[in-house]
Amino acid sequence: MADRIRAVLRWETALVVLLVAVAVVGSVRTDGTFLSGGNLFYLGLDIAEIALIALPLTLVIAAAEIDLSVASVLGLSSALIGWLWTAGWPLETILPVVVLVGAACGALNGLLVTRLGLPSLAVTIGTMALFRGLALVVLGDTAVADFPASYTQFGTTPVPGTNLPYPILLFAVLAVVFAVLLHASSFGRAVFAVGANEEAARFSGVRVKRTKLVLFVLTGAVAALAGIVYTFRFSSARADNGTGLELAVVAAVLLGGVSIFGGRGTLGGVVAGVLLLGSLRNLLILDDVSTEVLTVVTGLLLLVSVLVPAVGRRLGRRVDNSRLGRRVDNSRLGRRAGRRAATSAAGPP
Amino acid sequence: MSGLTVESDVDQASAGQRPARRGAAARRLVDRVGRVRELGILVALVVVVAVTAVANPAFVSPQSLRDLLLNASIIALLAVGQTLVVVTRNVDLSVGSVLGLAAFLTAQTFAANPGLPLLPGLLLGVLIGLACGALNGLVVAAGQVPSLVVTLGTLYVFRGLDFTLARGRQVNAADLPDALLSLGSGRLLGIPNLVLITLVVIAAGALYLRAYRSGRELYAIGSNPDAAVLAGIPVGRRVFVAFTVSGAVAGLAGALWMARYGTVDAAAGTGLELQVVSAVVVGGVVISGGSGTVAGAALGALLLGTITSCLVVLRIPAFWQQAITGALLLAAITVDRLVALRLAAALRRSSRAGRRDEGG
């Protein structure tokens, strides 16, 4: 029974309930516009990059690391697209190169963290400035916008016959891939093991460094992919694309119930967190609420996402303690009695 | 670093008298490395300034040097508060938003009450920051939740609050009292007022961390939170105070920001938090807590600010600025790490040698 209650009281469940509540309130307040196909299309587009990057970042945070350089990798990849396109490269070559550069950025993060044992927070604050700086070096403050419509249409038209934006289709495919990777593969179990207790994981034969390196490389590659999406969606390659996005992505992942200490979290929760964030944002915009309120709401949600589990843990502990209370008292008495027996047996010299 | 101290303590406990001397030697070694760290930043600073001065001698004119200090003072101020927090193995990402909120509210109060004396107005900024910091500290300490998440959340909340209250307005220099603006631009004995205030705050922070019991306890908490609890340190209360101080300092920085720039809108100080964390880390404060000084952090802020100015003087395109800052930060933490590894090896060798003596 207790287990069943606990299962229902999961954070993920709360997210889904909130999501439904937002959808209901939203469609009532906007006379159904909120759930209309057209609006859902924009809702999806609006969160595409955050959603994409949140996937690999979930794994990184589950492994008790963090990557704050993702938005800069996005910017670097956007700048590279613009630069190479201006230099006359075909897009078919540019896109794979950009993803490879993103992976290389991730590898730099990963190597600094695993080979030198540096804290990922410090490393990725450094590479955040470095990658954004390289983006500026590559493209300066110019914008490249003359991309062929055959590419930019992926950001402006839905998948034929649906209201699904192409980036969200990409997100759905990647979400399944990452969900399988995290929850149904030995690699995923290694990720949780590393996040829960790195030393124990190492002694259990998990290749800790290799695992972390792979996670950073994946994050870099997906961030570069998000850079491609961003560039074509706005049909504009700029070095400052996606500035500040890293905090939104981290917020989405944590809102999804992933523990910042690692070892806990689900990809489904993160998908729900991303959708909740996107719906709220969209609803508030439809409702003509200023974006400032939106910022406050994002921040409050983030605070709630850590405070609720913390309070829950504490309450849970209190319940466990009161239930165990009698048994603990008994055992303590027993130990004391035993000690008394032992001293009396030894007797005075 | 925490591991090292624990290790040498164990050695001292297990062996007798001689190791006490060895422990002292080890402590001297650690101490020397700590001092070398600040010296390293100073040397880097001198080299950067010297190279730039060769290219353009005007760079070392008194006015130019004054500007260097003035430009770095706000970040240095924030770095002092951040050091207190980072030393306890926490981080305060909300400082930029706190600065913005305090700057705007203080500016608005001054604009609405033209007769307001200077000191109560500045104090208002400090109090706003203090309240924000206390909120951070309360949630982190009482809720026992990670500060990275909490302050990321309050980064949004405070900034959103700032924008909501500002509603797109901005306060201009014309609305502010002259006394305030002359505080921001004036100087005393040739040193800009803001720099003097920053120096006072640095000195206070350094004294607190060095000479006060509760200050030392911040290091203990950062080195090993569990051991700190067992040692009877009121961890929650100390962490709360560290965040409150960081907030109050950010509030003061907000008030000074307003005095310096005159024009304040709701976006003041956006993105400053990462510059501050960079300065702290470059200044040798270990991001995982337990080690670092306020002076180092302030020097880190000065170094980063100076490099930015040098790039301008050397006519290096501004686009390179950020890449160089990032590379420098990475170099700083890498060197720190390599030195720490060397030190650990040296300590292990010396303790092993000691144990052999003991046996013979």
Q: How far apart are CA A53 and CA B90, in angstroms?
A: 25
Please enumerate, as own/partner, the contacts of B176-181 that have beta carbons within 8 Å and a separation of 24 or more: B176/B107, B176/B110, B176/B111, B176/B258, B176/B262, B177/B110, B177/B114, B177/B116, B177/B118, B179/B118, B180/B110, B180/B118, B180/B121, B180/B258, B180/B259, B181/B259, B181/B262
Q: How far apart are CA A69 and CA B298, in angstroms?
A: 25
In this prediction, residue A310 has a pLDDT band, given cuts at 50, 70 and 90, of: confident
Question: Is A65 inside any structural domain?
Answer: yes
Q: Nearest 5 degrees, angle CA A232-CA A284-CA A294?
A: 85
Instruction: Kindly tell me the sign of the dihedral angle through the C-alpha atoms of B115, B119, B120, B124.
Output: positive
Q: What is the 3-state secondary structure (H, E, C) of A241-272?
A: CCCCHHHHHHHHHHHCCCCCCCCCCCHHHHHH
Which residue does chain A place closest to B150, by CA atoms? A303
Which residue does chain B place closest to A243, by CA atoms? B271
Q: Please compute the mean of the pLDDT values over residues A36-59 and round it to a whole number.
A: 89
- Yes or no, beta carbons of B325 and A121 under 8 Å apart: no
pLDDT the model gives residue A342: 43
Q: What backbone phi and psi angles, to 5 degrees, belong to B191?
A: -105, 130
pLDDT the model gives residue B6: 40
Question: Is A156 inside any structural domain?
Answer: yes
- Mean pLDDT, all residues of chain A: 83
Question: Is A219 inside any structural domain?
Answer: yes
Question: Is A89 inside any structural domain?
Answer: yes
Q: How far apart are CA A253 and CA A265, in angstroms?
A: 9
Annotate A272-282 with b (16+ C-beta within 10 A) or e (fewer). bbbbbbbbbbb
In this prediction, residue A347 has a pLDDT band, given cuts at 50, 70 and 90, of: very low
B319 or A133: which carries more pLDDT confidence?
A133
- Yes or no, beta carbons of A129 and B274 under 8 Å apart: yes
Minimal CA separation from A91 to chain B, in Å: 25
Query: Which tokens sit at B289?
Result: 């807590």
- Yes or no, beta carbons of B154 and A132 under 8 Å apart: no
Choose, out of B157, B282, B325, the residue to mutate when testing the contact with A (most A CBs < 10 Å).
B157
Residues of A in contact with B143 (CB under 8 A): 306-307, 310-311
Q: How far apart are CA A147 and CA A156, in angstroms?
A: 13
- Yes or no, beta carbons of A251 and B153 under 8 Å apart: yes
Amino acid at A203: F
- Yes or no, beta carbons of B287 and A254 under 8 Å apart: no
- Yes or no, beta carbons of B146 and A127 under 8 Å apart: no
- Yes or no, beta carbons of B91 and A121 under 8 Å apart: yes
What are B192's strand-pairing partners? Answer: B187
Query: Which tokens sit at B207?
Result: 């004294």
- Judged against a pLDDT cut of 70, whether residue A140 lies above it is answered with yes
A164-215 residue pLDDT tens: 888 899 999 999 999 999 999 999 999 999 999 999 999 999 999 999 999 9
Question: Is A337 inside any structural domain?
Answer: no
Residues on B contacting A at a C-beta cutoff of 8 Å: 91, 139, 143-146, 148-150, 152-161, 163-164, 266, 271, 274, 277-278, 281, 287-288, 317, 319-327, 329-330, 333-334, 337-338
Question: Is A338 inside any structural domain?
Answer: no
| Domains in chain B: ranges and CATH | 2-8+41-354 (1.10.3470)
B253-273 residue pLDDT tens: 999 988 888 888 878 888 788
What percentage of residues in chain A have a pLDDT greater than 70?
A: 87
The secondary element (H helix, E strand) that includes residue A189 is helix A186-196
Question: Is A23 inside any structural domain?
Answer: yes
Minimal CA separation from A273 to chain B, in Å: 15
Q: How far apart are CA B88 and CA B291, in angstroms?
A: 9
Instruction: Give the nearest partner residue to A123 out of B288, B322, B330, using CB atoms.
Output: B330
Residues of B in contact with A136 (CB under 8 A): 319-320, 322-323
Q: How far apart are CA B342 and CA B88, in angstroms?
A: 24
pLDDT the model gives residue A111: 95
A101 or B284: which carries more pLDDT confidence?
A101
- Yes or no, beta carbons of A125 and B154 under 8 Å apart: no
pLDDT the model gives residue B39: 81
Instruction: Give the nearest partner residue to A296 out of B156, B266, B338, using CB atoms.
Output: B156
Instruction: Give the nearest partner residue to A119 out of B287, B326, B338, using CB atoms.
Output: B287
What percentage of residues in chain A have a pLDDT greater than 90?
A: 40
Question: Is A91 inside any structural domain?
Answer: yes
Query: Which tokens sit at A251?
Result: 């917020």
Residues of A in contact with B137 (CB under 8 A): none
pLDDT the model gives residue A2: 58
Which residue does chain B place closest to A305, by CA atoms? B149
Domains contained in chain A, number? 1
Contacts of A247 (CB under 8 A, 6+ apart): B152, B155, B156
A235-250 residue pLDDT tens: 888 988 888 788 789 8
ipTM score for this prediction? 0.75
Which residue does chain B place closest to A122, by CA atoms? B287
- Reading chain B (360 residues) residue by residue, the pLDDT tens digits are 333 444 344 444 444 445 555 566 666 666 666 566 778 788 888 888 888 888 888 777 888 888 888 888 999 999 999 999 999 989 898 999 999 999 999 988 888 887 778 888 889 999 999 999 999 999 888 887 888 888 888 888 898 888 888 887 888 777 877 777 777 777 777 788 888 889 999 999 999 988 898 889 889 888 888 888 888 888 889 999 999 999 999 999 999 988 888 888 878 888 788 789 888 988 888 888 888 889 989 998 998 888 888 888 887 777 787 888 788 878 878 887 887 788 778 888 877 777 666 654
What are B171's strand-pairing partners? Answer: B264
Query: Which tokens sit at A50?
Result: 């955050």
CA separation (Å) from A114 to A9, A107, A260? Answer: 36, 10, 19
The secondary element (H helix, E strand) that includes residue B192 is strand B191-192
Instruction: Give the nearest partner residue to A133 out of B91, B164, B324, using CB atoms.
Output: B324
Please answer whether residues B53 and B59 qualify as being in contact, where contact means their C-beta atoms are separated by less than 8 angstroms: yes
Please answer whether residues A15 and A273 qualify as being in contact, where contact means their C-beta atoms are separated by less than 8 angstroms: yes
Instruction: Kindly tell me the sign of the dihedral angle through the C-alpha atoms of B344, B349, B352, B354.
Output: negative
Instruction: Give the nearest partner residue to A299 out of B148, B160, B338, using CB atoms.
Output: B160
Which domain covers residue A67, as residue numbers? Answer: 2-313
Tell me, what CATH number does A300's domain have?
1.10.3470
In the DSSP assignment, the letter for residue B59 is G
In Å, how far from its chain's centre is CA A218? 13
